[in-house]
Structure 1
Amino acid sequence: MTTGLDLCEIDRIRHSMRNPRFCGRVLGEWEYEQLKERGFPPQSVAASFSAKEAFGKAMHTGLAGFSLREVQLMRKPNGVPYLALSGAAARLADGWQFSVSVTHTAATAAAVVLGERKDAEI
C-alpha cells in the first residue's frame, strides 16, 4: 500500500487562475469540462491540483514522469471522487488501484490518495 497527501492554498490557485491558460495547462479534458460546468470554483480547482500532487507522492515520483493533465480528479454523479489516469500516469500506475478523498476549507484544499497493488493479498 502507498499513500500520498497534499495540501494546497486556494488563494494561490485563485491567483494562478487569473491566467486564462492555467486551467487548460493543469486540468485534463474531462476534468476541465466537469469544472467548467460548475464555473471553475477555485476551491475545486485547488482540490484537483492537490489530487495530482497526492498521486505523485503516492507513486514516489513527485510531479516527475507524468503530465498533470494525465491525472484527472473526476466525480461520479453522486459526488464520489475518483482518479482517471491516462498516458504516462496510467503506465506508471499499471498494476495499482487507487482511492482518493478531497476536502477544502475557505483557505485550503487537501487530497489523500491511497494506492494498493491489484494483486495484493487481503
Structure 2
Amino acid sequence: MILGIGVDTVRIARLEKSLASPSFMEKVFGPGERALLEATAPARRAERAAGCWAAKEAFLKAAGRGIGGFALAEIQALRRPSGAPYYELSGAAAAWAAENKAAVHLSITHDGGAAVAFAVAETV
C-alpha cells in the first residue's frame, strides 16, 4: 500500500555557494552523502548536492512531514554501484520507516539547471 508520495525541484545554482560551508555540509548532508559529494568531480558537485537536497524534501513530503520533521542529515540520498539512488535513513527518519513498516523508493533527475527528486513510500 502506498503511504505517500513526494516530489521536489531544486535549482542547482542555489547550492553552489553553500557547499563551501562546513557547518552547512554537516547540518544538511549525512556522512555517506558528504563522502559521495567529495568523490564527485567539482564541476558536478552542486548538481549532485541539489539532487540530494531535492531527495530529502521529497522524502519529507512522502512521509507527510515538512522541513523540520526530521533532521536533514538523517535522510541520505546515496548511490548504488549502478548509479541508482536510494535512501539510507537514520535517527527519527529510520524510526518513522520502521514504525510504519515503510520502504521508500527514490528517483532523481537533472536538467535545465535543476534537480528533481521523486519519492514513494510504501508498506512492506
Give the TM-score taking structure 2 as reference length. 0.88
What is the letter of the counterpart of residue 11 of structure 2? Answer: E
Deviations 1:42-97 (A, max 9, x none): 00000000000000000111122310000000101110110000000111122100
> Whole-Å Cα distance in 2 between the matches of residues 64 and 3 of structure 1?
18
Gaps of 5+ in 2: none
The correspondence for 1:36, drawn from 22, 35, 38, is 38
Residue number among 25, 49, 53 corresponding to 1:49 in the alignment: 53
In the aligned structure 2, how far is the partner of 1:106 from the partner of 1:17?
Answer: 20
The match for 1:63 is 67
Higher helix share: 2
Unaligned ranges ≥5, structure 1: none
The structure 1 segments of at least 4 consecutive aligned residues displaced by more than 4 Å after TM superposition are none
> In 1, distance between residues paired with 2:112 and 2:86?
23
Residue 114 of structure 1, CA deviation: 0.6
Shift of 1:39: 4.0
Give the count of matched residue pairs.
118
Aligned residues: percent identity? 36
RMSD after superposition: 1.3
Distance 1:93 1:23 in 2: 24
Provide the rounded CA distance (Å) in 2 between the counterparts of 1:65 and 1:20.
Answer: 23
Give the TM-score, by structure 1 length: 0.90
SS at match of 2:17: helix
1:109 aligns with 2:124: no
Corresponding residue for residue 23 of structure 2:
21
